[in-house]
Amino acid sequence: MPIIVQKFGGTSVANVERIRNVAKLVQKEIKKGNKVAVVVSAMSGETNKLVGFVNEFKVRNDAEYDTVVASGEQVTSGLLAIALHELGIPARSYQGWQLHIRTDSVHGKARIEEIVTKDIVAGFKKGEVAVIPGFQGVTSENRVSTLGRGGSDTSAVAVAAALKADRCDIYTDVDGVYTTDPRIVPEARKLKKVGYEEMLEMASLGAKVLHSRSVELAAKYQVPLQVLSSFEDSKEDIPGTILVKDEDIMERRVVTGIAYSQNEARITLIDVENVPGIAAKIFAPLADAEINVDMIVQNISEDGKKTDVSFTVPKGETEKAVKVLEGAKKAKKVGYARINSDTKVAKISVVGIGMISHSGVAAKMFATLASKGINILVIATSEIKISVLIDSQYMELAVRALHETYELHKKPAGGKAVATKKKAKK
Amino acid sequence: MPIIVQKFGGTSVANVERIRNVAKLVQKEIKKGNKVAVVVSAMSGETNKLVGFVNEFKVRNDAEYDTVVASGEQVTSGLLAIALHELGIPARSYQGWQLHIRTDSVHGKARIEEIVTKDIVAGFKKGEVAVIPGFQGVTSENRVSTLGRGGSDTSAVAVAAALKADRCDIYTDVDGVYTTDPRIVPEARKLKKVGYEEMLEMASLGAKVLHSRSVELAAKYQVPLQVLSSFEDSKEDIPGTILVKDEDIMERRVVTGIAYSQNEARITLIDVENVPGIAAKIFAPLADAEINVDMIVQNISEDGKKTDVSFTVPKGETEKAVKVLEGAKKAKKVGYARINSDTKVAKISVVGIGMISHSGVAAKMFATLASKGINILVIATSEIKISVLIDSQYMELAVRALHETYELHKKPAGGKAVATKKKAKK
């Protein structure tokens, strides 16, 4: 009998009525003859409430934070088990410490090390559904740990990997992965299949459908992951978007989707002394301050003596980054004339595994943006994506123009995979 | 170093600000050089909210109920540990399954079988405060259990017994045990000391200060239990009411307090055939239906052939009890002419360990009620209490009159204990 893992997010379990609806979706899989393990988030709003309590204190204790915050998922797991009983389906909840879901001891952003599945498997033999709270685990010191935001997706994939599940279905409030955000481009098309690497790029570039870590884990253990909606009833066998190995994508397409994000800010250092090792001097103090730098561009001046360096940091850390660099200037650790920052920027990314074997994607992107009069501030590329930083007021315009340029509203012809066997670098 | 267990109820931990106040009360004991374990309830309203979720379902699963409902205390334990850290006091939370607090497997009303204290004791050696969620434990099947309403008091006493604590302080929203409810009798006096047996009677008779099971446990393990307020700051060493062995009460008093309750209803069977074994025939079907019968009175008619039987049941089970007895009549298991019930009744109880050696308490009670024109419907007595059932509209009047009759507003003279060594029956 196939094993299916189903995961339901906060809006899908927001109240008892919705939990009943989730129970029906579980019942559907049971009726097909599947063995089912379900992973649930906390009721929507609950985790924020609990985090709010903890944040009222002036000190932080990560282990106690986890004890408090993990309780939200505990509640939902018990309630869903009861909802399944109501439908006459045997079910029981297993907390992280009951299974165990062993994690490392990095409280607040723990990583799963092992999931003991013997109780779940024994339950399957009795026809029992296992209900597992997402987001939480237990450390080797026997304390409750949590995996960080979006951790329930990761829990679900980890459970699926441990059970060698035939499919892991992630139910969210969208019904799949789209070529871009349908709120910006109404013609955006739902993708039947997306490669793990593509999804990983899209997730880290701002597509909010899946958490990056869960995609990473799915890729590592080759878990067939499906994204679908818990609010719509579909008759299709695979109603959502399924994540597969990049080489298994059979559609002839070069670009898969357009992602965007407004979570970054640009910082520019003007008239930096252009000496060897200057990049290290700029970025070392930022690394020491635990500020993540993403896109970087350096323009060499004509005489080669002075240069401008631009880069992006998470928007919330802009002020901190500027202070760190001003401090480094005062301490004579790095020399530059002026510093400026801009938080009104957006990152637009074109993603597609097909880029590996197709040239001209970047040129097309730059030409499209130029034709709309959109100035490119910073560029960053990888084998399967090109990202540009632009003025945020042009964000929607850029996304729409690029969606049209690459004809993403059209279903590509099926056929041989365009991706080569070569793995794309992340 | 003395060991103190402190327990804080829901209103004392209702929000982060109040949890900070609780941390200060813990700090006070730490500064005196005590080792401290703290037991906490869920934030007020939280348990009701969780029970509400569970009650929305048509089926019940007691193990899942406990998983859901125990989460409230988990949250508070983590938050209090952080609040203590904020004051620079080392502290950590221990869930029922972490310690362990072993209970039997009667989910929803489990009984504590064992508390493993080695982690707490090891923590004490490092100057660490143990924060323990009340109400919850773990079964031998490794599932979360709860102790039933008021269970946090029981948890605190059990922790105190296991640690052989020097004192267990129960912080509530009242500052001690009073001769009666001060909302009814403003002259009610706070008692310095109350005997375990007296408190047990008062708790089971409606005094809401402590849960009966916690008092029972305190009596069994001779835990010195203090009831005091978390909202008032007192300079006294023992600011609340302390529970001691009945023979340790040094005040010369006959009556300790007046309790009242409106939780019961009266049922009367009229013209019952007065044959041997009739009482068993009436109460057996009620016992089968798990209806608790409390006060019972049987009036024998003049000819001895017919009798009226009155008794009380919990108010919420009145209808069920009537149905059960009507069914028994139809099934010819019990014969009577008519049945009637009354939910507008109140039980008034006079409690005092001194009654054992003093006569005339009951006579004085009946005379007082008669002088106010209050009719007594049913009487029940034990060695240390007399309870009467009256029309509920006279409840306050009766309590005030009895409080005055026994001069409870006056502080009794100290001296030798009035109680004999003989243990009072419960």
**B79's tokens:** 């938050």
For B378-390, give one letter per residue: b (16+ CB within 10 A) or e.
Answer: bebeeebbbbbbb
Q: Is the pLDDT of residue B426 over 70?
A: no
pLDDT band at A165 (very low <50, low <70, confident <90, very high): very high
Contact assignment for A92 to B63 by CB distance below 8 Å: yes
In angstroms, what CA-CA distances link A186 with A138, A190, A230?
A: 44, 11, 21
Q: Which residue has the tokens 């507008």?
A: B344
From chain B residues 69-88, the ones with a CB under 8 A of any chain A CB are 71-72, 74-75, 77-79, 81-83, 85-86
> What pLDDT is attached to residue A421?
38
Q: What are phi and psi of B145, to 5 degrees?
A: -125, 160
> What pLDDT is attached to residue A208?
73
Which domains does chain B possess?
3-248 (3.40.1160.10)
Mean pLDDT computed over every residue of chain A: 90
**A397's tokens:** 């315009």
Q: Is the pLDDT of residue A215 over 50?
A: yes
Look at residues B208, B312, B309, B296 and name the one whose alpha carbon lies nearest to residue B264: B312
Contact assignment for A58 to B16 by CB distance below 8 Å: no
**B230's tokens:** 């978390």
A191 — contact with chain B (CB < 8 Å)? no
Cα–Cα distance measured from residue A295 to residue A292, given in angstroms and rounded to the nearest whole number: 10
| CA closest to A56 among chain B residues | B16
Cα–Cα distance measured from residue A169 to residue A237, given in angstroms and rounded to the nearest whole number: 12
The A296-300 sheet, strands edge to edge = A296-300, A306-314, A264-273, A338-342
| Cβ atoms of A170 and A229 closer than 8 Å | no
DSSP string across B123-187: HHHTTPEEEEESSEEE-TTS-EEE--TTHHHHHHHHHHHHTT-SEEEEEESSSS-BSS-TTT-TT
> What pLDDT is attached to residue A360?
84
| Cβ atoms of B159 and B5 closer than 8 Å | yes
Look at residues B359, B347, B361, B370 and name the one whose alpha carbon lies nearest to residue B297: B347
Cα–Cα distance measured from residue A170 to residue A187, given in angstroms and rounded to the nearest whole number: 24
Cα–Cα distance measured from residue B51 to residue A81, given in angstroms and rounded to the nearest whole number: 15
Helix (H, G, I), strand (E, B) or coil at A113: strand
Instruction: Compute how many other C-beta atoms are within 10 angstroms of the C-beta atom of residue B282.
Output: 22
Cα–Cα distance measured from residue A297 to residue A320, given in angstroms and rounded to the nearest whole number: 20
Longest dimension (CA), chain B: 78
In angstroms, what CA-CA distances link A410 with A179, A404, B261?
A: 10, 9, 75
> What pLDDT is attached to residue A422?
39
Tens of pLDDT, residue by residue over A220-272, are: 999 999 999 887 776 666 689 999 887 777 666 789 999 999 999 999 999 88
Q: What are phi and psi of A268, to 5 degrees?
A: -125, 130
Give this prediction's pTM.
0.83
Span B285-299, mean pLDDT?
87
Q: For strand A112-115 and strand A167-172, is the pairing parallel, antiparallel, or unpaired?
A: unpaired
Q: Regarding predicted confidence, which is higher, B250 or B382?
A: B382
**A160's tokens:** 């699926």
Cα–Cα distance measured from residue B254 to residue A33, given in angstroms and rounded to the nearest whole number: 72
Cα–Cα distance measured from residue B115 to residue B83, given in angstroms and rounded to the nearest whole number: 25
Tens of pLDDT, residue by residue over A298-317, are: 776 667 778 888 999 999 99
CA distance A37 to chain B (A): 16
Look at residues A39, A35, A34 and name the one whose alpha carbon lies nearest to residue A22: A39
Q: Which residue has the tokens 């793995």?
A: A423
> What pLDDT is attached to residue B204?
74
Degrees to nearest 5, angle at CA A212 with A64 and A165: 90
Cα–Cα distance measured from residue A426 to residue B417, given in angstroms and rounded to the nearest whole number: 82
User: Using omega within 30 degrees of 0 as the cis cutoff, is the peptide bond preceding B100 cis?
Assistant: yes
Instruction: Compute how many other C-beta atoms are within 10 angstroms of the C-beta atom of residue B315.
Output: 14
> What pLDDT is attached to residue B180?
92
> What pLDDT is attached to residue A226?
94
List of chain A residues whose C-beta atoms are within 8 Å of the C-beta of residue B55 = none
Look at residues A242, A252, A229, A206 and name the one whose alpha carbon lies nearest to residue A410: A252
pLDDT band at B418 (very low <50, low <70, confident <90, very high): very low
pLDDT band at A147 (very low <50, low <70, confident <90, very high): very high
Tens of pLDDT, residue by residue over A342-366, are: 999 999 999 998 887 777 888 899 9
Q: Which residue has the tokens 């008032």?
A: B232
Residue A171, beta-bridge partner list: A8, A228
- Which one of B59, B67, B72 has the shortest CB-CB distance to A78? B67
Q: Is the pLDDT of residue B275 over 80?
A: no
- Who's near A157: CB < 8 A, 6+ residues apart? A168, A214, A217, A218, A221, A223, A225
Cα–Cα distance measured from residue A31 to residue B32, given in angstroms and rounded to the nearest whole number: 64
- Who's near A411: CB < 8 A, 6+ residues apart? A189
Q: How far is CA B54 from the centre of its chain?
A: 25
- Who's near A163: CB < 8 A, 6+ residues apart? A3, A5, A37, A117, A120, A121
pLDDT above 70 coverage of chain B, percent: 93
From chain B residues 10-39, the ones with a CB under 8 A of any chain A CB are 16
Interface test with A, best of B22, B51, B53 (most A CBs within 10 A): B53
**A289's tokens:** 């301050």
| Cβ atoms of B82 and B115 closer than 8 Å | no
CA distance B370 to chain A (A): 54
> What pLDDT is attached to residue B139?
97
Interface test with B, best of A18, A53, A118 (most B CBs within 10 A): A53
In angstroms, what CA-CA distances link B76 with B9, B17, B82, B95?
A: 10, 12, 10, 11
pLDDT band at A9 (very low <50, low <70, confident <90, very high): very high
Q: Is the pLDDT of residue A277 over 60?
A: yes
Cα–Cα distance measured from residue A310 to residue B211, given in angstroms and rounded to the nearest whole number: 67
User: Using omega within 30 degrees of 0 as the cis cutoff, is the peptide bond preceding A100 cis?
Assistant: yes
Q: Is the pLDDT of residue A173 over 50?
A: yes
- Least confident piece of the model among B182-186, B324-328, B411-415: B411-415
| A-B Cβ pairs (cutoff 8 Å, strict) | 101
- Least confident piece of the model among A78-82, A118-122, A233-237, B377-381: A233-237
Cα–Cα distance measured from residue A311 to residue A321, given in angstroms and rounded to the nearest whole number: 11
Q: Is the pLDDT of residue A418 over 50?
A: no
Mean pLDDT computed over every residue of chain B: 90
Tens of pLDDT, residue by residue over B119-160, are: 999 999 999 999 999 999 999 999 999 998 779 999 999 999
Q: Which residue has the tokens 């909302």?
A: B183
Give this complex's ipTM: 0.81
B144 — contact with chain A (CB < 8 Å)? yes
In angstroms, what CA-CA distances link A4 with A30, A94, A134?
A: 9, 17, 16
